[in-house]
Amino acid sequence: MELRHVGKESPRIGARDIVTGRARYARDLKIPRMLYGKALRSPYAYAKILSIDTEEAEQYPGVESVLTYRNSPDWEEGMLVEHKRFLSDTAYYLGDAVALVAAQTEDIAEEALGLIKVVYEPLEPILTTADALKPDAPELYMELPGNLAPTDVFENMGMAFTDMAYGDVEQGFKEADVIAETFSSVESGQQPLPPEPPGVIAEWDGENLTVRGSMSSPGLCAMQNSGHMQIPITNMRVIAPYVGGSYGSKHFSSCGSIILYAAALAKATSRPVGMFWTKEEQFAAQTMRIRSTGEYKIGLKKDGTVTAVQGEWINESGAFSGEQCLMVGVGHIAQAIVAKSKNADVRTKIAMTNRMPSGAYRGYGYLENTIHICNALYKGLEKIDLDPVEYFRRNTLKVGDEFFHAYMCTGMVEYAGPDFVKALDEGAKAFGWDARWKGYGKPTREDGNMVYAVGMGLAGETDVGEQAANENVELVFDGGVKVFCSITEFGTGGRDVMRKFAAEVLNVPLESVQLSPSDSYAAPYEWGSTGSRTVFSVGTAVVQAAMDAKKKLLERAAIVLQRPPEDLETRDGLIFVKDDPMACIAWVAAIGFNQSITGVGNFKGVFNVGIQQAQFIEISLDKETGKVEVLEQLCSTDCGQVVNPLAFKGQLDGYFPGIDMALREETVWDGKGRMLTANMVDYKTRTWNDLPKHDRVVVETPPQSDPPAPFGAFGAGEPSLAPAIPAITLAIYNATGIWFNDYPISPNVILDALKSKNERKG
């Protein structure tokens, strides 16, 4: 079927506003009588507040309110066991807020912070998971014994499994021809760093709270934060203007401190209060990628069959427990790369420390676990001398395969596709893998001190259909269409997708379709743009709503045209008889003047459609300096159906943080819990001008899901980061003959390893 809008390029919603500067972001919003809030932050990673004197700050001209633990609401954060008071008599990480100021201007608020006198009793901080899990370690929260984040609460709710066990692991290892084991660490604390730091404005109207700001998921934000503030979700309205990037870090679910701070000050002053993090605060006090270690053991037959997987995956929550449990649940989906094993036993722990909280970031949990698993898997593949491409060709999930799904469902589910082998093969062919791959521990070529080698990786997850979605579509008598959907635009083009889906179903020009604002009060409750669910979950509900509205439209038109609804069709605001196009009426004749028709869509969620990506990478390695350069990267993926071609390309082009996580991005702390790299100079992220040669191969195979994906589309962007890390790890091994399992793999680490290797040879 030829599609009119889906898959065709079109001007992006709001594009002209963005490029001309008319787009309004959180910082551009001004509310009458608005005050500005600032947070005083602890200089210690762990400390008791002995005294706090705010009198001078309260009397400073222009200051309207100063809050501390003594006069602030009794609100607590934490998922789902609340345990951290948002303003406490204890600071739990360096940068934790200990006082809040609301003032007429930001400068006044900043000056007032300097007038607050705090006497601390520094405590010995817990800075590693190993220290947190020691039997004699002090417990940070009495609600979390042993410094362990809760996990059984989620399982009892049917939300996520943080442990994964099925089959007979001992028997599986007995059946293996080879067994590989490894320990790896992903503790670099990667920063999401969207261009726009977080910013919100909170305003109370009696018991109702309105929050405006840079939030990517209004529904999820309202659900979590209304609970923290002990108000009904219907009493919290969330409005998102343009959002300057998110990368997972701005749905503000379990790490919504900025919302609680602004809301508390707004309640205290009875005026709107805006709080806007600086870049330094975004770096050092918001959230970063979860940090973890993995100890894995994998059994393999000579044909590449995985007979058993056993592992311990320990994650660092940071200063309070948020959505890390859900991240671990999603992380088990990384097990899909060894999913055909009938035997698995992977245990996890989530430890509390006195470092900045970890939270959502693109590759939500499965990125980290993919690294840990592949570090063991590739060592096993070397033992049986099986090309990794051939391994994945044999072991990627096929339609009908059963696999363990650990997130939002219970146990084994049947995979609905798409089969990834075609995309894998086309990617390998485009990269020239067969000619460039020389075997494990073998470079492609050498030239003096320069060694050239290739590697590949594969990663993905199966939560693209997660969570229910509710959307409405209204047909207006003049031929216009309104889509009531609260998803936010933060660079991915999700709102354009919904406009195209509605226009496609109703066969109208894109210009006829308008979307409601990203406002939790302007549309049915909607979870939001998390987990790559926008296209599949939200899109399915929009398509259902448009089809429901179309059905009602044709039923009304059938009365006027004296033909059954199945004989009718609609295009461009007209309804006509299929076999007699001249017999037609305008929508207004069927709808009625000054009236409208509303269609309702509801999607319950599916958890068996996979979003995967393979990456093929070539590196150069200088044996004199240890420097690694990525010379070429090619990704191959299957998205079901491309909806917005240019936006889709941009999603795939966002692969490079995966490369940098492997090679350069690292958050550094000192021994007191102070972050030493909270700026764009010391934190070594790549710029656009420093990107390697990049290409992409795209296959479009609709999944066999029930219900079907909307127009066969289900997304492809999120896995862009994850495959690069195992691919680079393998390439460096091929260049040096040394496995590196701690990240980032910096030049000095490579040089030290090469030196040790040469000394052993000598």
Read off the pLDDT of residues 493-538 as tens digits, 9 standing for 90 and up.
Answer: 899 999 999 999 999 999 999 999 999 999 999 888 887 889 999 9
**SS3 of 317, please?**
strand
Q: How far apart are CA 83 and CA 230, in angstroms?
A: 14
Rg of the chain in Å (alpha carbons): 27
Residue 61 has pLDDT above 80, yes or no: yes
CATH class held by domain 26-123+194-246+250-286: alpha beta
pLDDT digits over 9-48, tens only? 999 998 899 999 999 999 999 999 999 999 999 999 999 9
- The Cα–Cα gap between 294 and 365 comes to 12
pLDDT on residue 247: 87
- List the beta bridge partners of residue 586: 574
- What average pLDDT does this structure show over 690-694? 90
Question: Are 518 and 240 spatial neighbours (Cβ–Cβ below 8 Å)?
Answer: yes
Closest CA to 211 of 238, 240, 241: 238
| DSSP track, 286-315 | I-EEPEEEEEEEEEE-TTS-EEEEEEEEEE
Residues in the chain: 762
**Residues above pLDDT 90, as percent of the chain:** 74
Cα 269 to the center of its chain, rounded Å = 35
pLDDT at site 286 = 87
Question: What is the pLDDT confidence band of residue 326, given thresholds at 50, 70 and 90?
Answer: confident
Pair of tokens at residue 96:
């934790």
Percent of the chain with pLDDT over 70: 98
**101-110, 219-228, 320-329: segment of lowest average pLDDT:** 320-329
* pLDDT tens readout for residues 358-388: 988 888 888 999 999 999 999 999 999 999 9
**Which range (66-70, 218-222, 435-439, 530-534) has the least confidence?**
530-534
What's residue 253's pLDDT?
Answer: 63
Residue 409: what pLDDT? Answer: 59
The reported pLDDT for the residue numbered 153 is 57
Would you place residue 189 in the very low, low, confident or very high pLDDT band (cuts 50, 70, 90)? confident
DSSP codes, 168-228: -HHHHHHH-SEEEEEEEEE-S------SSPPEEEEEEETTEEEEEES-S-HHHHHHHHHHH
- Residue 545 CB partners (closer than 8 Å, separation 6+): 471, 472, 473, 483, 502, 599, 600, 601
Q: Which residues contact 679 (CB under 8 A, 6 or more apart)?
A: 279, 280, 283
SS (H, E, C) 241-253: CCCCCCCCCCCCC
At 612 the pLDDT is: 92
Average pLDDT on 407-418 reads 80
CA–CA distances in Å: residue 211 to residues 206, 225, 240: 14, 11, 8
Query: Using 50, 70 and 90 to split pLDDT, how confident is the model at 329?
Result: confident
Q: Which of 104-113, 190-199, 327-336 has the lowest mean pLDDT?
A: 327-336
- Looking at residue 618, what is its pLDDT? 98
Res. 220: pLDDT tops 90? no
688's CB contacts (< 8 A; 6+ apart) are none
Contacts of 55 (CB under 8 A, 6+ apart): none
pLDDT at 157: 58
pLDDT at 51 exceeding the cut of 60: yes
The two domains 26-123+194-246+250-286 and 466-603 share their CATH topology (first three levels equal): no
Residues 543-600 pLDDT 10s: 999 999 999 999 999 999 999 999 999 999 999 999 998 899 999 999 999 999 999 9
The yes-or-no verdict on residue 751 having pLDDT over 90 is: yes
**What pLDDT does 134 receive?**
96
Q: What is the mean pLDDT of residues 597-610?
A: 94
What's the CA gap between 734 and 380, in Å, rounded? 15
Question: What is the average pLDDT value for the chain, to the nearest integer?
Answer: 93
- Percent of residues in the chain assigned helix, strand, coil, to nearest 5: 30, 25, 40
Domain boundaries, the chain: 26-123+194-246+250-286, 289-464+608-761, 466-603
Other Cβ atoms within 10 Å of 347 Cβ, number: 14
Parallel, antiparallel or unpaired: strands 291-300 and 178-186: antiparallel
d(CA 160, CA 211): 29
Helix (H) or strand (E) holding 495, with range, is: helix 494-506
Of 327-331, 441-445, 623-627, the range with the lowest mean pLDDT is 327-331
Options 3.30.70.2080, 3.40.50.300, 3.40.630.30, 3.30.365.10; CATH of 466-603: 3.30.365.10
Do β-strands 273-276 and 35-41 pair in parallel, antiparallel, or remain unpaired? parallel
> CA 264: distance to chain centroid?
28
Q: How confident is the model at residue 762 (pLDDT cuts 50, 70, 90)?
A: low
Least confident interval from 158-167, 550-559, 686-695:
158-167
What's the whole-model pTM score?
A: 0.95
**pLDDT exceeds 60 at position 254:** no
pLDDT of amino acid 462: 87
289-464+608-761: CATH number: 3.30.365.10
pLDDT on residue 665: 92
* Largest Cα–Cα separation, the chain: 94
Report CA 674 to chain centroid distance, whole Å: 26
CA distance 458 to 727: 8
Sheet with 291-300, edge to edge strand ranges: 164-166, 344-352, 306-318, 291-300, 178-186, 742-743
